Structure formats: structure tokens, C-alpha cells
Structure 1
Amino acid sequence: MTSEITRRAALSLVGAGTTVFLSACAATNVFVGTQEDASSPSASPKDYKGEAKLEEYDTSAGTFEPATHDTPPKNVPKPIKPKNADEDSVAGLYSSIAFLGAAITYAFTTGDTTYVQDSAFNEETKKEIINNRVVRKTAEGKHWEADIKLVYSLETSEPTKEGDEYTWPYRGISRHGTYYVEVDGPKTSVNFISESSQETITPGRIKAKHTDGHWVINFETDESASPSASSSRSSSI
């Protein structure tokens, strides 16, 4: 089973990143706001229900090489922030959510938090991810997983709005491969992840406000998680 720290970050996610996400990096549909969308968040006619997917990745580093028992993944595709991600529109909010999932997946895959810092996570959450023990160990080459993906699956076609705050029900889905590796000095241990622990789902609500030209997003999680039990929490990850 993955560490509790990895699980905690994943539970309230997206949580987003398996081999399919990292190795194939196939272009998926991201809804780009039209002029009408950008002018009014309520104007978008699109159906955004389902997994928030990022369209573009930078693959210039070379061919992706999956993790092995001996080495972490190499040339992991880098998420590209959508041009409309900062727009005050439903399309812009959707793109920000999709980028969040890709950014935190990249952080837990490589230890690089560059894209988390450029995302819509609030400042407290950014600091929490940057200082996360697993992320730091990953950056040092002392921890990696066979696969990891943290995704947001939106439960409704559009968010609701009350005042200046948008609420979007979601499921945070944490997907893991069959093992993770820990390096402690000269010792390298391969730890296998049971099939029942390879996917965890946590329902909750995205709370978003458009402030100073960009989105700021918080997450509220519900009391229960599947398949593993999780204590009730309100979390910003």
C-alpha cells in the first residue's frame, strides 16, 4: 500500500496519472472557452461532466520511459497550462481544474512542483504539496511509483454560483500501479500495492473564486472514501 501521505494527497483529489496518462499522453478534449464563454461563466452551453482532462503536454524531453524496480520514470511529459485557464468563465474554470490534476500528478511522479505553483491551488495547498514528504523524496530519487494518476471527475455539467463563489461536485480519483519503490541509503525496497488499493475515490466539492485575474480553488471532501476508509476532512488538496 502507498504511504499515508501519498494517500492523503490523492484522496482529496484528484486529486490525476497512470501509465496511460504519462506514457501515452494522448491528446484529450479540453473545452476552450469561446468569446461568449469568456464574457459570462453562466453562458457556456457545454457539458463538462466527467473526468477533467488536459489537452497538451510538452514531450520535448524525449520518449517517456516508465518506472522500473530499479529506476524512476524518465522524460515525463510536462503539463501545459491551457491559454484560457485564467479566464472568468466556466470553460476557464474547467481548464484550471484539468491543469490542477496534471500538475499534482507531475509533482508526485517527478518531485517537480513547478506546475503546482502555477496552478489554481490556494497558497496554503501549494506550500503543503511543495513540503510533502513523498514529493520531496521523489525529487531526491528516493521514492517512485510504477504509475500514479490523480484526477478530478466532475459530477455535474456546470458548477453552481452563489455570490462570487462557484461550487462544483466532484470525485477525486487516486490511481496507482502495482508497486512503489523506497530508497533508504544503500537499501532499495520494492513494495507491492494490492489491487484493492490501486484506486481510491473520494467525493467532495470544488469551491472556486476568480480573484485578481485567476482562479483560486479549494476542495471540500465528504465523510467516506472508497475503497479504503478515510476520516472526514475538509481539505485544500
Structure 2
Amino acid sequence: MLRLNNVTMKFGGVVAVNEFNATIDDGSIVGLIGPNGAGKTTVFNMVTGVYKPTSGDITYVKGGKELKVAEKRPDQIAKAGICRTFQNIRLFKELTVLENVFIGNHLRIKSDVISASLRLPNYVKEEKAFIDKSEYLLKKVGLYEERNELAYSLPYGKQRRLEIARALATDPELLLLDEPAAGMNPQETIELMGFISDIRKEFNLTIFLIEHHMDVVMGICDKIFVLDHGVLIAEGNAQEIQNNPRVIEAYLGVD
């Protein structure tokens, strides 16, 4: 579904990511790990169009057609089926839980500004469909009862779920999760693992995630890539990564 070929990102004289190669298969859960500053979020920013790679190419395959990500704007990439959450939660905190998810549907709206302003029948019908869809997603992520509460009032773990529900409202095929377990307690982390596996099946998703909680990565990922100072040092399944000397050195150092 996604191919990164010799992708490099430079900021002035600093090489944040250096000739990174990765393939993400349709329907898989893939992890991207590495010490702080390894370049993980930079990879996500390139995949979603926030940054244009200095060199290399990123190809998204959908319906047998290839999309060159570096040639598209972030909104075009999202509309093609790639959506993300963020390391630091970015909800519309003064809006309700339902309104946050409703906004995610805007990417798929067909009505024009005039129809919306005058609330013409075609817009009203579309709005009703989006509300129904948003409520359905909130039920799936366990937030339906809180739908009329303001987003900032939710506990941290539920805010994470809300951000994922908003991403799901865009109808993604490839969902990028940037440290979804950050700030969660052990019980919330266990619940998150089951939740990610469930939404993968429920919504037929491919999931690409960055995570520092190794229990999450090793427990749910089919494949794992390891970055260190912008360089890919290992890839493989959980057991292969756990036993890789270069990964152990990157995380623990050497005597």
C-alpha cells in the first residue's frame, strides 16, 4: 500500500532522515520505533505531505493506481485515503465530542458553500448523513455517551480515542498513529492494543504507528522498522527486532 524509496529529509545541514526504505503491506499493522530524535515523526510528516522529501519518493497504491505523495498537498493526500493522529493531541477542545468527529467528515462533503449557507435540501441531507456516521463512529470507539460533552473535559485516554474517531471520519485506508499510547496508564495501554486491533478489522485499515511503549509495538505489529539518527538500522517481526544487536545498542548503549 505504501512504498518509501530512499527517502531523505534535510533541514539545512541536518539530515533528519537518510535514505529510508520501507514497504507497508495492505491490511498490516506496522511499527516505526527508535530513540528520541531518530526521525520517526519526520517520516510521518513526509508521508502526510507536511514536508516534501529532499530526495527519494513515496508512493501510495490505491485501487491499482499509484499516487506520488510528494507531488500532493496534505488535503489531497488525506482525501486519497491517508490520515493521521498526532503525538500531541490536537482536538477542537471547545467543541463537543460529536462536533469534533463531524468535522472529520468535511473532507468528503459534496455540497457547495451556497447550499450550506442557505441550508438547501441537498446539504441538509448530507449533514444528517454525517451526523449519523459520526454517532456510529463514537459508538465504535466507546464515546457515544459523551457525545455532547466538550472535548477538553474528557480523560486523556478518551481524548486519544476521540482523535482516532475523527481520523476515521475521513474514511482512511491507511491510518498513521503518532504515539497513541503516550501518557496512558498501564490499563489504558492494554485497552488501546485491543482497540487498535479491533478498528483494523472493523474498518479494513492498514495502520502505521510510532510508539515508545514496547509492549504495544511487540504485541500488535506485524512488522517493525527501527530508526536511529535518521538511519534505518533494522526491520522485521517482533522477535527479530528484540534480538537485533543494533537495536539493543541503539536503546541501551554498549559497555
Structure with higher Rg: it is 2
The structure with higher relative contact order (CA 8 Å, sep 6+) is 2
Instruction: Tell me, yes or no, whether TM beats 0.5.
Output: no
Q: TM-score range by the shorter chain?
A: under 0.3
Normalization by structure 2: what TM-score? Answer: 0.21
